[in-house]
Chains A and B, each alone.
Chain A
Amino acid sequence: MAETGLIHHDDIVDDGKRDFIFLAAGAAGALGAASIVWPLLAQMGKAADTLALGSIDIDVGKIGEGEQLKVLWRGAPVFVRHRTAAEIAEAEDVNIDILPDPATDDSRLVPGPDGNLKPQYLVMVGVCTHFGCVPVGEAGDYDGWYCPCHGSHYDTSGRIRKGPAPRNLVVPPYAYTSDTVIKVG
């Protein structure tokens, strides 16, 4: 040491200072890494144009009694069923305490412009809540829908009655913009 004229720093080590620098550098590095990783992961989310395909208008007046319209919304089918009086009666006649996902038939409907419910029009996302297959209409043990993939039975209100699906068919956000036109999304 003496020959080189350099100070030997081991004699004057400040351990506290070294720990601080180590932690500070590590924390800054971790933050930097996280800020890089976030865009790398977030790019996989829904793109702006996908989000923009938000809502569609459907004229329910054209659907005859006992018929069902199937429309593509956000890449998935939406069912609009014009239910018969018998189907409505069957849906209302269920003791909701026995349902896996309890819901009254009325709670699955939306009021029209006059403030009254329109029980004849049932609007649902036609995607089985099990693994996303499209259920078949007028089928199954409860006269509603039946999912061919894993055997889930839905009733005439689209409520799960039997099979592996955990929840009722989803009612999408929608509203009547006139007496016969609904806006989904």
Chain B
Amino acid sequence: MSGHSTYEPKWAAARWMDQRLPIVRMGADFIMMPTPRNLNYWWTFGGILLLCLVIQIVTGVILGMHYVAHVDHAFDSVQRIRRDVPYGWLMQSTHAVGASMFFLAVYMHMFRGLYYGSYKAPREVLWIIGCLIYLVMMATAFLGYTLPWGQMSFWGATVITGFFGAVPVVGESLQQWLLGGYAVDNATLNRFYSLHYLLPFIIAALSGLHVWALHVTGSSNPIGVSNKVKTDTLPFHPYFTVKDMFAVAVFLMIFAFFLFYLPDALGHADNYIKADPLKTPPHIVPEWYFLPFYAILRAVPDKLAGILLMIGAIAVLFVLPWLDTSKVRSMRFRPIARWFFFIFVFFCFILGWCGAETPDDEAFLGLSFYRLSQISTLYYFAYFLVILPILGLIEDPKERPASITQSILDYGDKPEPEKVLAPAE
């Protein structure tokens, strides 16, 4: 939150600098942001995501020193990085596993936002910037997956760029313009490499805006009641820097487990076969983090409708602040909505399962994955377009604490906090 500056330069040199470029003051004020004291561990994913971005950029720039973006050499150059380049195996695996970890963290971050109503006023712009970051992340991940030039790289790129061919009238021209040819080929690989290098810096810039917007409105919190009195908050540093660091350590343990024990578990074996434009793998699947959207794409028999649904699944997130009519932010106080939310999370996993399987196969009890993905897609959209808009009008929320301080009164033997007179929102 933009408030009074508490920074006081201690040395003459610091004072000299402060009068010319107060960059240290800016950083100091930034990190001392008053933060709700009741934040739980779901609020640590912001810091974890920042770390993920840094890891991807650092390892990515290093991989760029050894990678060759040419259809004849790309596949071999990645194998060379894994086998011959000093510590190349570590850099390549970190980058590949890191992409999955990045998405794992971003999904936790997004579900947190959905459950605790972090998208509601006054945080709409903060939420929309987050949606934009997610969109650019997906583009970056897709472009990056093409670069190793394996079978999944090639056919994934063919299928995804095929979406643009479904645009009425100009589709084919648009697709060939994107590919730089009649099909995915060297021109495509080159431009994908160029854009894959560019987009992370766009993500970094958007993250800057995201954090800026966060500092204007302040963090939301598990009870969704705004800060009212001084005892509601603690300075971000050291209280939440330390808490974030603990979460980062746990996260890095999971990261390290995959990195050192199962580096290929999150990828697909077919990507160890060099790209062959004459042969399609029997079963094309995207990376796990795209599976739910892939299931939505396949849930309708019409090509254009499938693409529009898939785009809609992400577009609906952008307008969520205006779809959810409830003034109550946290689902802790929404006894009905929270169950619909848990079902929503459940169906997201079901969609992921459907995306990984063949549509015509049986899921269970004679139900095909095709039908299952249709049911799940229906719920996905109903949650945003029907359930949240209607529920906000008819649901009777539980009574909320008057303040964050009030909400933690019962907790242990803490001294009595100052009295709160402000009513609940």
A interface size (C-beta, 8 A)? 28
B184 within 8 Å of A by Cβ?
yes
A130 vs B183: C-alpha distance in the bound complex, in angstroms?
14
Partner of B180, one of A44, A127, A148: A44
Q: Tell me which residues from 180 to 206 in chain B have a Cβ below 8 Å from any Cβ of chain A.
A: 180-185, 187, 191
Stretch of B4-12, B156-164, B210-218, B314-322 contacting A (4+ beta carbons < 8 Å): B156-164
Q: Say whether A134 contacts B279, CB under 8 Å.
A: yes
A46 with B298: in contact, given A76-B277, A133-B284, A134-B279 (CB under 8 Å)? no
Given A72-B278, A77-B278: A45 and B302 within 8 A (CB)?
A: no
Contact of B159 among A77, A131, A135 (CB under 8 A): A131
Tell me, yes or no, whether A94 is within 8 Å of chain B by CB.
no
- Whether a CB of chain A sits under 8 angstroms from the CB of B359 is yes
A29 within 8 A of B: no
Q: Quick check: which of A32-40, A103-111, A160-168 contacts chain B, the rest being far away?
A: A160-168
Give Cα distance in the complex from A157 to B306, angstroms.
26
Which chain B residues lie closer than 8 Å to A149 at the CB level?
155, 159, 280, 284
Residue contact B183 to A133, C-beta cutoff 8 Å? no
Size range of the chain B interface in the assembly: 35 or more
Please tell me which one of the listed residues B155, B180, B298 contacts residue A50 in the complex, with CB atoms under 8 A apart.
B180
Closest to A130 in B: B303
Question: Using an 8 Å CB-CB cutoff, how does the interface string of A110-129 with B read, 1 for contact, 0 for none?
Answer: 00000000000000000100
Say if the beta carbon of B178 comes within 8 Å of chain A. yes
> Which residues of chain A are near B59, meaning CB under 8 Å?
none
Cβ-neighbour of B181 out of A46, A133, A164, A165 (below 8 A): A46
Digitize B275-292: 1 where CB-to-A-CB distance is under 8 Å, 0 elsewhere. 001111111100000000
Q: Is B401 an interface residue (CB 8 A)?
A: no
Contact at A74–B280, with CB atoms within 8 Å? no
B349 at interface, CB cutoff 8 A: no
B184 near A75 with CB under 8 A, answer yes
> Is the CB of B165 closer than 8 A to any CB of chain A?
yes
**Whole-angstrom CA separation of A150 from B300 in the bound complex:** 11
A163 and B301 in contact, given A44-B191, A131-B163, A133-B280 (Cβ under 8 angstroms): yes
**Cβ-based interface call for A7 (8 A):** no
Q: Please pick, from A75, A147, A150, the residue contacting B182 in the complex, using a CB distance under 8 A.
A: A75
Chain A nearest Cβ from B344, distance in angstroms: 26
Offer 9 A-B interface pairs, CB within 8 angstroms, sorted by A: A46-B180, A77-B277, A131-B162, A133-B155, A133-B159, A133-B280, A135-B280, A148-B280, A166-B304
Beyond the given pairs A132-B159, A151-B360, 17 more chain A to chain B contacts, judged by CB atoms under 8 angstroms and listed by A's residue number, are A44-B178, A46-B176, A47-B180, A50-B181, A50-B185, A74-B181, A75-B181, A131-B159, A131-B162, A132-B183, A134-B277, A148-B284, A149-B284, A163-B301, A164-B298, A164-B303, A165-B303
Give 8 nearest A-B pairs by CB, closest first. Answer: A75-B183, A131-B162, A74-B182, A131-B159, A134-B280, A133-B280, A132-B162, A132-B158
